[in-house]
Structure 1
Amino acid sequence: MPKKALVFMRYGPYRPLNLTVEHRTFRLQGLLDVLQRAGHRVILQKTEDWDALELIVNGEVVFQCKISDLDFGGDGKLDPLCEMAKLAVQLAY
């Protein structure tokens, strides 16, 4: 199980606080920080799936959730979804 993985993060548009629907990365920041601190390289990819987040390692979806379920801002240390995603990436091989 290599410590460093290439992770493709596919994320869709969502509507925060009844604003316009757009691809935003504010809620992804904590997850990005957690994965990068663990030594993984993350590539962001936009998708048209509404409020969707998928982590793909070696062509396989290893984690998925709604973007709106992630904590807004922060470093991801206190968000349980970020820890679950990091574990899923580590177990992907």
Structure 2
Amino acid sequence: MPSNAKVFIHYGPYEACGLVHHRKTRLEGLDTVLTQDGHTVEKVEVPDRNVVQLWVNGEMVFSCDIRDLDYGGDGDLDELCHKARDAVQKAF
């Protein structure tokens, strides 16, 4: 995949402190890792709870539980961010 791919991050709400909301704080590291590789990232809220999906060229290339991503940070130490970056690089 070229380094200038358009990546859509579909993310659902999750529970924190007893409230269920769409939150972007767990996506910061994922966003940083993908933009450092030169990709354009767009976040899309979806109704499915606890889900993160990466879509490239209309194809879902990666999926995980949003609660498994590190809270905040730059994604360098988050193994799931590296797996997601590899999935985007292998997309065609």
- TM-score with structure 1 length normalisation? 0.96
* Corresponding residue for residue 3 of structure 1: 3
Percent sequence identity is 51
Question: CA shift at 1:81, angstroms?
Answer: 0.2
Question: CA shift at 1:19, angstroms?
Answer: 2.9
Which runs of structure 2 are paired with 1:1-93 in the superposition (5 Å)? 1-16=1-16, 18-93=17-92
- TM-score with structure 2 length normalisation? 0.97
- Relative to its length, the structure with more strand (as a share) is 2
Q: Which runs of 5+ in 1 are unaligned?
A: none
Task: Detail structure 1 runs of 4+ shifted over 6 Å in the superposition.
Answer: none
Amino acid at match of 1:42: V
Whole-angstrom CA distance in 1 between matches of 2:23 and 2:90? 28
Question: CA shift at 1:51, angstroms?
Answer: 0.5
Query: How many residues end up aligned between the 2 structures?
Result: 92
Aligned-pair RMSD on alpha carbons?
Answer: 0.7
Q: 1:89 is paired with a residue of what secondary structure?
A: helix
Question: CA shift at 1:3, angstroms?
Answer: 1.4
Amino acid at match of 1:92: A
Q: 1:82 is paired with a residue of what secondary structure?
A: helix
Q: 2:49 is paired with a residue of what secondary structure?
A: coil
Q: 1:7 is paired with a residue of what secondary structure?
A: strand
Amino acid at match of 1:12: G
